[in-house]
A and B are shown apart, each in its own frame.
Chain A
Amino acid sequence: MSGGMKMYGKHRFPGRLFIVEGKSTQLMLLQKWLESEGYVTSFSEWNSSPLVREVTRRGKKKQMLTPMTFSLIHATDFADRTEHGIIPPLKAGAVVLADRYIYTAFARDVVRGVSPKWVRDLYAFAVKPTVGFYFRTPLDVAMKRILGGRDAIKYYEAGMDIGLSEDIEESFRLFQARIIEEYEKMIEEFGLVAIDATRSIEEQQTEVRKIVSDALTGTKKSKVRRWLDLASLAKGSRK
């Protein structure tokens, strides 16, 4: 952290940061495309700091987390992600792709009753994304996807800790509805790009690639390539 702490919107890096709220598949497809185009990419995901993740997992399993500690432990994890996984590659000129970002925390924590101002201040150290994508999914579609597939809904995922309903499915529905409301408010506040997630995967990806492509003009792969060329030159032997 030498050189003082930079706040949201104040970082200046040669790299680019694209974040996705809601669709991991779209991010994966974006990464494939960027790599095929010759960009150096780096991937960053939620709950990825090994030491912090232990605390989060145990806290969730034993239901020890309050809205406040839920918020703080995720911010701790996110800080580790920022300090180790996001800032260094951005400095090196890479394209960083983040699956879930501060907006996930803003939505969930505020629904849990944490002050909207406080949680925004808490994450003030985050790097502002070049583009933030929000995949808009209607509540009934989201419900079908979660209830239809995979494992049982988890306690905190359903917002059971805030006592919306005794029934886990009903709690999940009420919780998700409020989360969606928070995201809708954030579209304007943070200039998120909303993508209609009810369209086909291909249609969504085409739109994402077009927006990313526009945001890459000016930095471009040539710059990344030049940096790589210099790196290979430095390895060569002296004349």
Chain B
Amino acid sequence: MARFSFFGEGLPEIELAELKGKLIVLEGTDGVGRSTHIGLLRQWLENHGHAVLDTGMTRSALAGKRLKQAKEGHTLGGITMSLFYATDFADRLENEIIPALRAGFIVLTDRYIYSLMARAIVRGAAPDWLREVYGFALKPDAIFYLRLNIDDLVTRVLQSAGGFDYWESGMDLHLGEDMYDSFVRYQRWLLSEFDKMVEVYGFEIIDASGPVEEVFPDLRDRVARIVESNGC
């Protein structure tokens, strides 16, 4: 029997039974250290003899570049942006993620449909509609939700090189007087959307408030359990 399944109406012509690898998702708001952890996990997994594919948003061959441009111009409406992201995701799912799973890879993905849904919801898209649209996505083996509260998040962003960024502050939504106000409101809103998904989708919460050397061993051990479980 196939280990994998789709959330809803799946992709045409995919033999789920052929998918042998593991699909592991790291989710969380901006600034929680997802890419650092993915880099470390990849190294660790490869050291233990596993082939790894890592992937993330706006990296598709089909739409990635134009999607980044669309963001820079920020002239596209909320539904259009949501579907543009869905196109980017579908391209990576069909052309990177599924072939890698077929070949028995561990796929580490920096964000998945949950971030896409949370961002679309705060921009007015209906949650039920998004669930239908993303019905073609594969259910992952595990979703690790790196969680930071809003105060820690602000500190983390202030310490980073770039500071507050237009999109991470949700400036397109006109939520506050300045980037700081907007950032706090936007990220708090996203956090509440993520928190709603914890039970629905079975997120495993990882407290991301400590330094990397404290957070990583916990994450690594949990990933190890997934990788070692049934037939990989």
Per-residue interface assignment for chain B, residues 113 to 149, with 1 indicating a CB less than 8 Å from any chain A CB and 0 otherwise:
0000000000111100100110110000000000000
The tally of residues in B whose CB lies under 8 Å from a CB in A reads: 36
Contact between chains at A72 and B87 (CB < 8 Å): yes
Contact between chains at B125 and A51 (CB < 8 Å): no
Min CB distance B174 to A, Å, is 10
**Any chain A CB within 8 A of the CB of B103?**
no
**Interface-side segment among A113-121, A135-143, A196-204:** A113-121
The tally of residues in A whose CB lies under 8 Å from a CB in B reads: 38
Contact between chains at A118 and B87 (CB < 8 Å): no
CA distance A184 to B8 in the complex (A): 27
Contacts of B11 in A (CB 8 A): 68
CA distance A122 to B63 in the complex (A): 18
CA distance A52 to B67 in the complex (A): 9
Q: A4-B126, A5-B125, A83-B77 are in contact. Are A76 and B83 (CB under 8 A)?
A: yes
CA distance A124 to B132 in the complex (A): 10
Point out the residue from A5, A54, A79, A118 that lies within 8 Å of B80, measured CB to CB.
A79
Per-residue interface assignment for chain B, residues 73 to 87, with 1 indicating a CB less than 8 Å from any chain A CB and 0 otherwise:
100111110111011
Contact between chains at B80 and A83 (CB < 8 Å): yes
Question: Is chain A's interface secondary structure helix, strand, loop, or mixed overall?
Answer: helix
Contacts of A64 in B (CB 8 A): 61-62, 91
Q: A72-B87, A118-B9 are in contact. Are A65 and B62 (CB under 8 A)?
A: yes
Contacts of A114 in B (CB 8 A): 12
Contact between chains at A51 and B12 (CB < 8 Å): no
Contacts of A76 in B (CB 8 A): 80, 83-84, 86-87
**Any chain B CB within 8 A of the CB of A41?**
no
Contact between chains at A2 and B87 (CB < 8 Å): no
Give 27 CB contacts A-B under 8 Å: A1-B124, A3-B124, A5-B125, A5-B126, A5-B129, A7-B126, A49-B80, A52-B66, A54-B66, A55-B66, A58-B62, A66-B94, A68-B94, A68-B136, A69-B87, A72-B90, A76-B80, A76-B83, A76-B87, A79-B79, A79-B83, A80-B77, A80-B80, A83-B76, A117-B9, A121-B129, A124-B132
Contacts of B61 in A (CB 8 A): 64
CA distance A5 to B124 in the complex (A): 6
**Any chain B CB within 8 A of the CB of A194?**
no
Q: A4-B124, A51-B73, A64-B61 are in contact. Are A72 and B86 (CB under 8 A)?
A: yes
**Any chain B CB within 8 A of the CB of A22?**
no
Per-residue interface assignment for chain A, residues 94 to 135, with 1 indicating a CB less than 8 Å from any chain B CB and 0 otherwise:
000000000000000000111101100110110000000000
Min CB distance B80 to A, Å, is 4
Contacts of B125 in A (CB 8 A): 1, 5
Q: A1-B123, A83-B77, A124-B129 are in contact. Are A75 and B12 (CB under 8 A)?
A: no
Point out the residue from B12, B129, B133 that lies within 8 Å of A7, measured CB to CB.
B129
**Any chain A CB within 8 A of the CB of B17?**
no
CA distance A124 to B126 in the complex (A): 10
Contact between chains at B13 and A122 (CB < 8 Å): no
Q: A72-B86, A83-B80, A121-B129 are in contact. Are A67 and B12 (CB under 8 A)?
A: yes
Contact between chains at B124 and A75 (CB < 8 Å): no
**Any chain B CB within 8 A of the CB of A84?**
yes
- Could you tell me which residues of chain B, from 49 to 93, have a CB within 8 Å of some CB in chain A? 61-63, 66, 69-70, 73, 76-80, 82-84, 86-87, 90-91
